[in-house]
Structure 1
Amino acid sequence: MGSVNSSEGPWLQRFANGKPVRKPKQQEPWRAAPDQNRDIIASAQCILDRENFVREVNRYLKHSDFLDLRKTELLYKKYLKNVSEPLMQKMKDQIDSQSEKEVWKRRQEQFSQYLNYCTKKGYVFLDDCDPSEYDPFFQKTCTDCWKVSTTTWNTARN
C-alpha cells in the first residue's frame, strides 16, 4: 500500500494544487462525428437490406412450396376424376351385374380344380406348379368377368 504522499495513488492524479483535474472528454458513442454517422448508418442499412433479402427469399420459398402442393392436389383431383372414379364405378357395376350364384359356381370350380390337382400330384407348391396343368394365379374359367377398360391417360388429361 502506498503512502499518502506518494504519487502512486489515483486520488493524487485527480487533484493538482488542491484543485480537481478533469480528464479530457471522451466522445460519447451516440454522439459520433458526421462522417462516422454516415458509416454507421450505411452499415446498418446494409444489414437491414440483407435481412429484408433473406425475408423475401423465405417468403418466395414458402409461396413456391405452396404452389407445388397446390399443383399436386390439382393433379390428384384430375386423376380421381378421370381415372380412379370411372374405374371404380366400372368395377362396381361389373361386380353388381354378377349374381351370387355365378360367383359361388365360379368359386366351386376353382376349388375343384385345386383339389383335382392336389389329388393328382399329392402336393401343391407354387415353385413346383406346372402352369399348363394348374396355375393358381390365373382364372381359367370366366376370365371376361374381370376385364374392365377405361379411357387412356392421354385422352383423360385433356
Structure 2
Amino acid sequence: MHSGKSSEISWLKNMTHLRPVREPDQPRPWRVTPDQSRDILASVQCILDRENCFVREVDRYLRHNDFLNLRKKEIVYKEWLKDVLEPVLQKIEDKMSSQSIEEMQKRKQEQLSQYLNYCKKKGYVFLDHFDPSEYDPFSQKMCTDCWKDGSHQSPQ
C-alpha cells in the first residue's frame, strides 16, 4: 500500500519529465501585420476618446445638477427668511418693545417667589412629581397671555 505522499511525489516526477508540447506550424489567426496593428490601435484610441468624452460630459452634467440643487436650496431659504422668519422676528420685537422693563421684572419676580415658597414648603421641586394645585413649574411656559395678539385667536 502506498502512502498519499509517495503517490503525489511520483505523479509530480512524471509531470516534470514531460516534453514541452510543440506548437503546430499553422499560421496563427491572431497574428497581425504592422499595418493592421496600427489600424487596430487607431480604432481603440478612437473608442477611448469617445468614452473619455462621454465621461467628461456625464461629470459636467452631475456638477451642473449639484449646482442647480444648491441654488434651489438657497432660493427656498431666502423665501423662508422673507415670508416666515422676518415677520415672526418683527412681531417678537414689537411685543417686546411694547412691554416695559418693570412689567417683565415683576412677572419674573412673581415666578421666582412662587418657586422659592414651594421649595421652602416641600424642600424639593421635581418636574416629574409635583402637585399643580400647590405649584406648577410649567406655568411659565403655559402662561403666555402676555405674548398673545389678535392674529392667532380662533374665530368665534
TM-score of the pair, normalised by structure 1: 0.66
- The percent identity for this pair of structures is 55
Q: Following superposition of structure 1 onto structure 2, how do residues 38-53 of structure 1 map, counting pairs within 5 Å?
A: 38-53=39-54
Aligned to 1:78: 79
Q: Which amino acid aligns with 1:71?
A: K
Contact 1:91 1:148 in 2 (8 A): no
| Counterparts of 2:58 and 2:114, CA distance in 1 | 67
The DSSP-based 3-state class of the residue aligned with 1:133 is coil
Aligned to 1:94: 95
| Counterparts of 1:140 and 1:90, CA distance in 2 | 19
Of the structure 1 ranges 52-61 and 122-131, higher mean CA displacement relative to structure 2 is found in 122-131
The DSSP-based 3-state class of the residue aligned with 2:139 is coil
Q: CA deviation at 1:63?
A: 0.4
Q: CA deviation at 1:137?
A: 2.6
The DSSP-based 3-state class of the residue aligned with 1:139 is helix
Contact 1:87 1:149 in 2 (8 A): no
Q: Which amino acid aligns with 1:110?
A: Q
Q: Which amino acid aligns with 1:57?
A: V
Structure with the greater relative contact order (CA < 8 A, sep ≥ 6): 1 or 2?
A: 1
| Counterparts of 1:58 and 1:140, CA distance in 2 | 53
Aligned to 2:135: 134
Q: How many residues align?
A: 120
Dislocated runs of 4+, deviation >4 Å: 148-151
Q: Following superposition of structure 1 onto structure 2, how do residues 1-158 of structure 1 map, counting pairs within 5 Å?
A: 32-33=34-35, 35-139=36-140, 143-147=144-148
What per-residue deviation string (whole Å, max 9, x for no partner) do you get for residues 21-61 of structure 1?
xxxxxxxxxx941x443322211010001111111111011
Of the structure 1 ranges 61-70 and 135-144, higher mean CA displacement relative to structure 2 is found in 135-144
Q: Which amino acid aligns with 1:129?
A: F
| Counterparts of 1:108 and 1:81, CA distance in 2 | 37
What per-residue deviation string (whole Å, max 9, x for no partner) do you get for residues 133-152 of structure 1?
3222322896222336879x
Distance 1:64 1:140, change over 3 A: closer
Q: CA deviation at 1:116?
A: 2.0
| Counterparts of 1:106 and 1:61, CA distance in 2 | 57
Contact 1:86 1:150 in 2 (8 A): no
TM-score of the pair, normalised by structure 2: 0.67
The DSSP-based 3-state class of the residue aligned with 2:140 is coil
| Counterparts of 2:61 and 2:150, CA distance in 1 | 44
What per-residue deviation string (whole Å, max 9, x for no partner) do you get for residues 97-146 of structure 1?
10011011111111121122122222212222233432223228962223
Task: Flag structure 2 segments of 5+ consecutive residues without an equivalent.
Answer: 1-32
Distance 1:143 1:83, change over 3 A: same
